[in-house]
Structure 1
Amino acid sequence: MAIAKNTVCLWFDKDAEEAANFYASVFPDSRVDAVHRAPDDYPSGKKGDVLTVQFTVAGIPCIGLNGGPVFKPDEAFSFQIATDDQEETDRYWNAIVGNGGSESECGWCKDRWGLSWQITPRTLTEAMMAGGEEARRAFTAMMTMRKIDVAAIDAARQG
């Protein structure tokens, strides 16, 4: 297996393998590539413990590091997943929130491991790219939402 030139490293307490398997089950173009175990005992673990997991999330190469409880993820990093319609938006949102995650505002949610996700319908991104009044109306509508309502964004875009 080739090692990617640039890989996103995500710090987990101890559940990198579980998280990688979850992401691979939810998002297309996602998979678990390799699980690397400790070759010997070490100060905070035993021989055979999972140290790192190489995986891909929606085409992005990642490595999950089981580094312990010292560092916690926050909203400064998030995955942004573009969706084509309400069904796809609902599927990803419900998978993340329904698996021990939590809702936030404006299309953001967190998974059970604390990683942030932006489940963003393409219509919202297109509205923001259009600028002007269309962007203002879509933005105003989005600011009232948790999970993005595609129909409401489309209506706001039209005025």
Structure 2
Amino acid sequence: MSNSQKITPFLWYDGQAEEAMNHYVSIFKNGKILGVNRAGDQVLSGTFEIEGQRFMALNGGPKYAFTPAVSFFVDCETQEEVDELWEKLSAGGGEPGRCGWLKDKFGVSWQIIPAALGQCLSDPDPERAGRALNAMLQMNKIDISALKKAADGS
């Protein structure tokens, strides 16, 4: 299977690679498992795709763990999309973080960010942008309505 993507994120799991792949492709509308490599009944590695981005997953053992130093930024259009992805990615033992960040149940960090956040933070009026920034710094999951109200000063 040829891959036109030059760089592919490679995720190291401690025995949960297949569970993680199935979890991610169930969450994103455009997700699919591309292949699974097994040794007997054990999964060694697999390849999957979500929203056009290919990933590889490896059952590499307990030596390494995920950290927030690497995260996946998800650009969302609506509050409904933010809410759905936030709920599904943090389910089952995930941890909500600040400013749109969360860790999923595998320890992978995600940023669930509505396009409205960038628009508010780059407002040409520095006072509006500052109010939006201050509101965002108080949030876990980004609330577009509250962000816009803060920018407006209401």
The Cα shift of 1:154 comes to 1.3
Matched, 1:82 2:75: yes
- Structure 1 unaligned segments of length 5 or more: list them: 39-46
Structure 2 counterpart of 1:124, one-letter code: L
1:151 aligns with 2:152: no
Q: Counterpart of 1:141?
A: 135
TM-score normalised according to structure 2 size:
0.91
Please provide the CA RMSD for this pair: 1.4
Amino acid at match of 1:111: D
Residue from 95, 98, 112 that aligns with 2:91: 98
Partner of 2:122: 129
Of 26-35 and 105-114, more deviation after overlay is shown by 26-35
Helix, strand or coil: the match of 2:30? coil
Counting aligned pairs with the same residue, the percent is 40
1:54 is paired with a residue whose SS is strand
Farther off after superposition, 127-136 or 29-38: 127-136
In terms of mean alpha carbon deviation, does 132-141 or 114-123 score higher?
132-141
Shift of residue 76, structure 1, vs aligned partner: 0.7
- Structure 2 residues not aligned, in runs of 5+: none
The size of the alignment, in residue pairs, is: 151
Q: Is the 8 A contact 2:135 2:147 kept in 1?
A: yes
Q: 1:126: Cα distance to partner? A: 1.5
CA deviation vs aligned residue, 1:76-98 (integer Å, no higher than 9, x gap): 11111111222111101111122
Q: Which amino acid aligns with 2:58?
A: L
31, 48, 69: which one aligns with 1:55: 48
C-alpha distance in 2 between matches for 1:127 and 1:61: 31
SS of equivalent to 1:130: coil
Kindly report structure 1 stretches of 4+ aligned residues shifted beyond 4 Å.
none
